[in-house]
Copies of this chain bind each other. A is one copy, B any other.
């Protein structure tokens, strides 16, 4: 039943190189990389030049190649490659969260029209098999919530800040030097990467496609030592959490820093590790942890997709039918902490203030705000403000909280 997978690989960076090695070492898989398309000429490569081409059409027009593995950074170029691959009847494995978050509906449709598979496990949480499990294992369960740490770079930075009391700038500089952060870390530290991943997770959890721009992403760029100190004094850590919840016929979702206590699922998830927690009606609480970055862990997820193609596996998108009736909403209340070197007068409109601290050098307020009012502020550009949420403290004005899907009482 197994068919030979003949791969055209786009990109030979960290993950592409990892895949090449992993494929060579894994003797269990009947797959072969036929050709690798790269962009940069004249760069020293670890394998023979005959493996490479600079012309994407040499791969796309090669009828021997039945599978495209797309591992490039550029989402626009990836879009061209992937859509053309579909039209040529080739299966596609991609790790490109931006491509997928921005074009999911169209890509699903095009792959189905051309009767090919489109798999992208590595696009969310790298090595954690979350999409496959959402698709196949929780496909008959009613999921009410998905939350996780979906970005290794920011989790590394936050972990180091809390562990060693170093400043954000200090840790970022170290991380860049070590290759743990990009030279331009915007996508990671401002929460865009986490948002794209959340968008993909929402689609597979609730069957709802949300335009990525509707999901608010607040990053960690403006975290100050005082915010870290506040957390440490209260026994809390700060984690950049991607979260989404279904309440009645509404779906909410956003990415933001959260203060988490010691018994929170994300508290002990450190450094480059990612995690996902799911709340399901029948399966109840489920938790997955694995490396969220790195050449081999990410390549292993790509490999699993390639392996699944041997059996003509494709995602079913079973929940998309019921997901159509869901509406995305920012219409809820959240309890937040806002810290600043400036006086916190009217930058943030609090519904009520629970705590207000004014010091010589630092100020903070804690209280409930309308989430929709936050969506109007570009926190990633507001150097004066650091905002952090509290995991449990989200509530709804217009929706009866009772309608939140609770796990049935389980007769243990």
Question: Which residues of A pack against B, CB within 8 Å?
Answer: 14, 18, 21-22, 25-26, 28-29, 127-129, 132-133, 136-142, 152, 156, 178-180, 263, 268, 272, 280-291, 293-297, 299-301, 303-304, 307-308, 318-319, 322, 407-408, 410-412
Contact = CB atoms under 8 A, between A and B. Distances in A.
A297 B318 contact: no
B282 A22 contact: yes
A284 B137 contact: no
Contacts of A139: 28, 304, 307
B410 A296 contact: yes
A37 B317 CA distance: 35
A291 B141 CA distance: 15
Contact of A294 (B28, B128, B299, B410): B410
B137 A304 contact: yes
Contact of A26 (B133, B140, B288, B295): B140
A294 B138 CA distance: 17
Nearest to A282: B300
Nearest to A17: B411
Contact of A140 (B28, B136, B281, B286): B28
B411 A18 contact: yes
A300 B132 CA distance: 16
A296 B268 contact: no
B297 A284 contact: yes
Contacts of A132: 133, 136-137
B26 A142 contact: yes
A65 B295 CA distance: 48
Contacts of A18: 411
A321 to B, nearest CB: 9
A272 B285 CA distance: 12
Given A28-B139, A179-B412, A287-B290, A282 B308 contact: no
5 contacts: A26-B141, A132-B133, A268-B268, A284-B294, A294-B411
Given A28-B140, A29-B140, A294-B412, 9 more contacts: A136-B304, A140-B304, A180-B412, A268-B268, A283-B290, A287-B290, A293-B412, A295-B412, A296-B408
A124 to B, nearest CB: 14
Contacts of A303: 140-141, 282
A226 B300 CA distance: 45
B280 A300 contact: yes
A286 B295 contact: no
A281 B152 CA distance: 19
